[in-house]
Amino acid sequence: MVRGKLFGYIYLLLLAHLISLCDGQTAKRISVQKCDEYRRIISNKRGIISLTLNPKPFYYQSYNCSNVVELIVGGEAAKHGEFPHQALLGYPREDGSPEPYSFSCGGSLISDRFILTAAHCFSYGDPVIVRLGEYDLTVDSTTQLDFGIAEIIRHPKYRNSRSYHDLALVRLNETVLFSKVIRPACLWTNPTLNVSRFVATGFGKQEEGSTDLSTKLMKVQLDLFPPSDCGELFRDNRKFRDGIDEGQLCVGSLIGGKDTCQGDSGGPLQTITEPRSCIYNIVGVTSTGAACGVGNSKAIYSKVAHYLDWIEQVVWGV
């Protein structure tokens, strides 16, 4: 009797699950849900009514953005608001400069409280602020906002002596109010990369050997290479004692020229899967070996999809 009731209960649970599958898709992971939410923030729902008796309106999404452009070969200045998720980590300066912060690492806004960046950005000191909405460091813009830092969370497997698991999350001390020039990016969730061309952004060096950073946000188109290419390139580097692992991407350019610098450490490697949606997907985080101004330059990026479980648990508690 008890066994019969138990089987009946299990049957009802399975039936309810099957019904839910038939009624719609299986539950989306939180990263995908949040991406849908971010898209809705920048869209208007518009209706078209046909000239017929008893018309039913047809609704479509209209997106409020105009700065997304095709990726380019070589580096050039980004447009204001083109990368609204771009963040700068501000470290205290002690050189007497009128600018109180040194911006030597970048990051990406991925929620209203968290920045995704590289763990190695905290190896020699911690930043004190995160700047959002920055486009030109020489201009005191009304769109830029500085946020205090509540917590820095490095990936638990990261070690300073290695270049693996080079990811960190920065929790801001207050909630970010989204705008046209400040809003989060989506996270790339597919373990498989069905694209091979990306864009890196940042205020990095403009030419090899220079200590000067760009005063404007720069962007550059980069390509995906086989892991073995970077394995060969970094084989004598002690930080890659185990070669290139599954949590890393080998990305770079075969084209030389002083404008082909890659972005800041911790900055985003990104792509747009739906151009009309105006929102980027963060595929990787700039980690190691970025070079600029030379042909056949490659660098290592931490693969976001490989670390989704950890990111989601920290940011959204799931």
pLDDT of residue 104: 86
pLDDT of residue 66: 46
Give CA separation, 126 vs 5, 89, 149, 280, in Å.
59, 9, 10, 27
Q: Which of 166, 214, 287, 297 is the catalytic position? A: 166
| Interaxial angle between packed helices 30-41 and 308-316, expressed in degrees from 0 to 180 and rounded to the nearest 10 | 60
Position 90 in a domain: yes
User: Are 263 and 299 in a shared domain?
Assistant: yes
List Cβ neighbours of 296 (8 Å cut-off, separation of 6 or more): 252, 254, 256
List Cβ neighbours of 148 (8 Å cut-off, separation of 6 or more): 128, 129, 172, 173, 174
pLDDT of residue 95: 78
User: Are 298 and 190 in a shared domain?
Assistant: yes
pLDDT in tens, the chain (318 residues): 545 554 544 444 443 443 344 334 458 999 999 999 999 887 654 444 545 555 555 444 444 554 444 443 457 888 999 999 999 999 998 877 778 899 989 999 999 999 999 999 999 899 999 999 999 998 888 899 999 999 999 999 999 999 999 999 999 999 999 999 999 999 999 999 988 889 999 887 655 555 567 788 988 888 999 999 999 988 888 899 999 999 999 998 877 543 334 447 899 999 988 766 679 999 999 998 645 545 567 889 999 999 999 999 999 998
Provide the pairing of β-strand 58-63 with 114-117: unpaired
Q: Which of 80, 85, 108, 120 is the catalytic position? A: 120
pLDDT of residue 266: 94
What range defines the domain where residue 172 resides?
84-183+308-316
User: Are 204 and 178 in a shared domain?
Assistant: no
Contact between 110 and 97 (Cβ < 8 Å): no
Known catalytic residue at 212: no
Position 38 in a domain: no
Position 101 in a domain: yes
pLDDT of residue 52: 53
Phi-psi region at 317: left, alpha or beta (left = phi > 0; alpha = psi -120 to 50): left
User: Are 209 and 255 in a shared domain?
Assistant: yes
pLDDT of residue 14: 42
pLDDT of residue 259: 35
- Rounded to 10 degrees, what is the CA torsion of 47, 50, 52, 57? -20
Position 58 in a domain: no
pLDDT of residue 212: 63
**Total residues found in the chain within this entry:** 318
- Residue 209 sits in a domain whose CATH number is 2.40.10.10
User: Are 173 and 254 in a shared domain?
Assistant: no
Query: CA-to-CA distance for 259 and 263, rounded, in angstroms?
Result: 11
End-to-end CA distance of the chain: give it in Å, rounded.
39
User: Are 138 and 209 in a shared domain?
Assistant: no
User: Are 197 and 244 in a shared domain?
Assistant: yes
Phi-psi region at 75: left, alpha or beta (left = phi > 0; alpha = psi -120 to 50): beta
pLDDT of residue 17: 41
User: Are 215 and 175 in a shared domain?
Assistant: no
Known catalytic residue at 120: yes
User: Are 177 and 312 in a shared domain?
Assistant: yes
DSSP string computed for 142-166: SS-EEEEEEEEEE-TT--TTS-SS-
Q: Which of 163, 265, 287, 302 is the catalytic position? A: 265
User: Are 251 and 282 in a shared domain?
Assistant: yes
Provide the pairing of β-strand 186-187 with 281-288: parallel
User: Are 238 and 275 in a shared domain?
Assistant: yes
Query: CA-to-CA distance for 5 and 259, rounded, in angstroms?
Result: 71
Position 142 in a domain: yes
pLDDT of residue 209: 55
Known catalytic residue at 265: yes
Position 117 in a domain: yes
Query: CA-to-CA distance for 191 and 306, rounded, in angstroms?
Result: 7
pTM given for the model: 0.82
Position 285 in a domain: yes
User: Are 166 and 312 in a shared domain?
Assistant: yes
Position 57 in a domain: no
What's the number of domains the chain is made of?
2
